[in-house]
């Protein structure tokens, strides 16, 4: 038995069937998890960045203008 690193719910898994890097979901909170280690069995949360879904970069036009102003001084 292992606990979810997000909500601390117990997750019933067959430990002998897991390999490091395997992914699973928590039944309680729905978090996507990855097997971080086998001995001891540890899970880690898969953030959006780790799943390949990158957040779009925010473009701050004012910040760029400030940098240009500083360069001209």
DSSP string for residues in 1-60 = -EE-TTT--EE---GGG--TT-EEE-TTT--EEEEEEETTEEEEE--TGGGT-PPPPPP-
pLDDT for 7 beyond 60: yes
Separation of alpha carbons 6 and 31, rounded Å: 7
Separation of alpha carbons 55 and 28, rounded Å: 26
Mean pLDDT of 21-35: 95
The whole-model pTM stands at 0.61
Class of domain 1-49: mainly beta
The share of the chain scoring above pLDDT 90, in percent, equals 60
Q: What pLDDT band is residue 1 in, cutting at 50, 70 and 90? A: confident
Separation of alpha carbons 9 and 2, rounded Å: 8
pLDDT at 50: 44
């Amino acid at each position: 038995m292992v606990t979810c690193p997000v909500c601390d719910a117990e997750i019933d898994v067959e430990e002998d069937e897991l390999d490091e890097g395997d992914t699973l979901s928590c039944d309680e909170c729905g978090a996507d998890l990855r097997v971080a280690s086998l001995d001891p069995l540890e899970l880690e949360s898969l953030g959006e960045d780790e799943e390949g879904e990158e957040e779009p970069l925010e473009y701050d036009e004012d910040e760029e203008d400030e940098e240009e102003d500083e360069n001209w001084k």
